[in-house]
């Protein structure tokens, strides 16, 4: 057993962090890490404040909330943690590029701390870090001011008022540098994106993304708009060419048609090739129609039909929609678990959450780059259209239309339904699927990138966390289920497969996202390690 593994296992007996629901009455399964010994760092507390801000729906770009925007927010907060801490560490370097302005701040550090006791110096650094993070988060999310201003005083350490004023001054200067660094990353740029499909009633190209109703099945709720279509070009820590190389390693999704030159008319149910037009039927599967496209949709239907209670909870737990920290926020909370598990000090936490933030940010940029490049359709639209066209497996040849076994929201059990009525297994009152294209899975990419970098930066694959809760969708059944993960990999794999159980992704999007995310985690780790090696 390595020293890091022994240290982590020893820490289990000492600190015993736990995962628990933030609010048992909440309409989400939002989860937080709780310390049981009270021996936490200022960054442990600030990281939770960041996830709370996102869950409060106040972290926005152009009035919108979502996982990409959340990941960027966590990256900026992580930069504030790290930039504050590295000023006091002669063996670490700024991540913001400009050494000259950093040296100016370093001179202030020397001036402010030269006569302080070790204890007071540590409290001073804690407050500098808290002020830097608070000012950064306020600048990135002005609507979060009530939450941050209410929470920050309980995080600050008690030090003489004049010294605290110096800590605030220094923290604010750090925040200015961090916010300036993120100001021109392209996150607010506009692009001309327009879906080729006009919604559930106007699917023209079956393998391209179509907006769904904002509330599933409710046309009066209006159609979705593609969230942050500019994100693939946003500047993040990895070189653009490096990120392109990583994206190129991912195989592209399956097309509906097998041959070039063929075209189809979904409204009329016909396909044209080599001057001949004929009805779309199962006989064309394998000649003109791609059997792998049909198979991936059938796989999602079959998963829906056979969901176990545990698989249902997995789909719900990892959904991470509005009112949570989104998928990146779950991994920020898992980072807090790693902090407690490894008994981190402030500098270790600064590096940990900086790493997680950067990995999440790069993961979002890479995933959205592929989403806009492929503009791939989701299972919801593919399954309903393939059912209408008669291309899925028919479970009852005597009933009209394609009959499939699937989970029924109405009866909360497996039912035989017309495939055109198939629905995803997601929180009631929300959209059937997220408002952006299918390939690759953001969940898989975010989770494997963050999980991989936690593994690498702590030097320990062990996670050892669990959470016990009940279903929100099947609340009346009140069946407690425990989800547990021995390793970080166990967690990121479960995050990925959850989107198959929920009917949100095909297998290729999951596998591609898992591959891409791990590569991003490794690349970010290799790059940032130079800052303190």
Burial of 397 (0-12, 13-18, 19+ CB in 10 A): exposed
Distance CA 427, CA 449 (A): 26
pLDDT of residue 87: 94
Percent of the chain with pLDDT over 90: 89
Whether the CA torsion 514, 518, 519, 521 is positive or negative: it is positive
Among candidate residues 232, 452, 435, the one with its CA nearest the CA of residue 331: 452
Distance CA 138, CA 53 (A): 10
pLDDT of residue 12: 46
Q: 3-state DSSP: the chain helix, strand, coil percent, rounded to 5?
A: 55, 10, 35
Structure confidence by residue, pLDDT tens digits, 225-236 = 999 999 999 999
The per-residue DSSP string of 178-218 comes to HHHHHHTSSTT-------SS-STT---STTB----BSSTT-
Per the CB < 8 A criterion, the answer to whether 425 and 473 are in contact is yes
Collapse the DSSP code of 37 into the 3-class scheme (helix H, G, I; strand E, B; otherwise coil) and give the result.
coil
Structure confidence by residue, pLDDT tens digits, 438-469 = 999 999 999 999 999 999 999 999 999 999 99
pLDDT of residue 447: 99
pLDDT of residue 16: 78
Percent of the chain with pLDDT over 70: 96
User: What's the DSSP call for residue 409?
Assistant: T
pLDDT of residue 30: 92
Structure confidence by residue, pLDDT tens digits, 7-40 = 545 544 545 799 999 998 888 999 999 998 888 9
Q: Is it the case that residue 312 has pLDDT exceeding 80?
A: yes
Burial of 146 (0-12, 13-18, 19+ CB in 10 A): exposed
Collapse the DSSP code of 36 into the 3-class scheme (helix H, G, I; strand E, B; otherwise coil) and give the result.
coil
pLDDT of residue 428: 76
CA distances from 219 to 44, 196, 215, 222, 223 (A): 43, 19, 8, 6, 8
Angle between helices 240-248 and 346-374 (to 10 degrees): 60
Contacts (Cβ under 8 Å, ≥6 apart) of 353: 43, 47, 74, 77, 78, 81, 82, 332, 335
Distance CA 134, CA 148 (A): 7
Domains belonging to the chain, first-starting first, are: 3-190+309-377+433-531 (1.10.606.20)
pLDDT of residue 429: 76
Collapse the DSSP code of 22 into the 3-class scheme (helix H, G, I; strand E, B; otherwise coil) and give the result.
coil
Q: CA angle, 38 as apex, 36 and 44 as ends, to 5°?
A: 100
Query: If pLDDT is split at 50, 70 and 90, which confidence band does 410 have?
Result: confident
Structure confidence by residue, pLDDT tens digits, 77-133 = 999 999 999 999 989 999 998 655 677 788 888 888 898 999 999 999 999 999 999
Q: Is it the case that residue 4 has pLDDT exceeding 90?
A: no
For residues 399-426, give the mean pLDDT.
95
Residue 39: other Cβ atoms inside 10 A: 11
Distance CA 348, CA 132 (A): 17
């Amino acid at each position: 057993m390595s020293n890091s593994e022994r240290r982590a296992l020893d820490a289990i007996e000492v600190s015993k962090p736990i995962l628990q629901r933030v609010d048992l009455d909440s309409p989400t399964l939002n989860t937080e890490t709780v310390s049981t010994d009270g021996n936490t760092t200022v960054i442990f507390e600030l990281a939770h404040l960041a996830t709370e801000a996102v869950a409060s729906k106040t972290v926005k770009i152009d009035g919108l909330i979502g996982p990409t925007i959340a990941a960027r927010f966590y990256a900026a907060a992580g930069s504030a943690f790290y930039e504050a801490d590295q000023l006091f560490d002669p063996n670490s370097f700024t991540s913001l590029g400009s050494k000259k302005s950093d040296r100016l701040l370093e001179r202030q550090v020397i001036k402010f701390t030269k006569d302080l006791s070790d204890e007071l110096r540590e409290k001073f650094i804690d407050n500098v870090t808290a002020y830097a993070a608070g000012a950064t988060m306020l600048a990135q999310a002005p609507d979060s001011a009530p939450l941050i201003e209410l929470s920050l005083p309980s995080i600050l350490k008690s030090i003489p008022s004049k010294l605290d004023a110096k800590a605030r001054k220094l923290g604010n200067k750090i925040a200015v540098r961090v916010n300036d660094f993120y100001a021109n990353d392209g996150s607010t740029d506009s692009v001309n994106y327009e879906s080729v499909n006009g919604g559930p009633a106007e699917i023209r190209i079956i393998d391209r993304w179509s907006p769904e109703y904002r509330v599933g099945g409710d046309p009066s709720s209006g159609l979705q708009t593609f969230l942050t279509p500019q994100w693939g070009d946003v500047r993040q820590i990895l070189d653009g060419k490096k990120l392109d190389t990583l994206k190129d390693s991912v195989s592209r999704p399956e097309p509906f048609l097998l041959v070039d030159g063929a075209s189809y008319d979904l409204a009329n149910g016909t396909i044209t090739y080599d001057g001949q037009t004929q009805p779309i039927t199962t006989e064309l599967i394998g000649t003109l129609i791609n059997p792998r496209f049909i198979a991936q949709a059938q796989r999602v239907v079959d998963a829906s039909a056979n969901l176990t209670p545990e698989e249902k909870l997995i789909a719900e737990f990892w959904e991470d929609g509005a009112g949570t920290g989104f998928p990146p926020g779950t991994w920020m909370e898992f980072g807090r678990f790693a902090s407690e598990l490894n008994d981190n000090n402030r500098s270790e936490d600064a590096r940990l959450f900086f790493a997680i933030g950067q990995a999440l940010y790069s993961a979002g940029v890479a995933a959205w780059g592929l989403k806009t490049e492929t503009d791939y359709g989701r299972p919801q639209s593919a399954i309903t259209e393939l059912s209408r066209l008669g291309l899925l497996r028919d479970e009852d040849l005597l009933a009209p239309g394609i009959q499939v076994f699937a989970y029924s929201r109405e009866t909360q059990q497996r039912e035989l339904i017309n495939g055109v009525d198939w629905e995803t297994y997601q929180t009631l009152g929300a959209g059937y699927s997220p408002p952006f294209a299918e390939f690759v899975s953001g969940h898989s990419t975010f989770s494997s990138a963050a999980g991989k970098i936690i593994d690498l930066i702590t030097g320990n694959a062990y996670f050892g966390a669990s959470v016990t809760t009940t279903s929100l969708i099947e609340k009346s059944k009140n069946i407690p289920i425990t989800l547990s993960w021995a390793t970080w990999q166990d967690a990121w794999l479960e995050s990925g497969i959850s989107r198959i159980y929920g009917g949100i992704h095909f297998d290729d999007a999951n596998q591609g996202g898992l591959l891409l995310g791990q590569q991003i985690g490794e690349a970010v780790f290799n790059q940032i390690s130079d800052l303190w090696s």
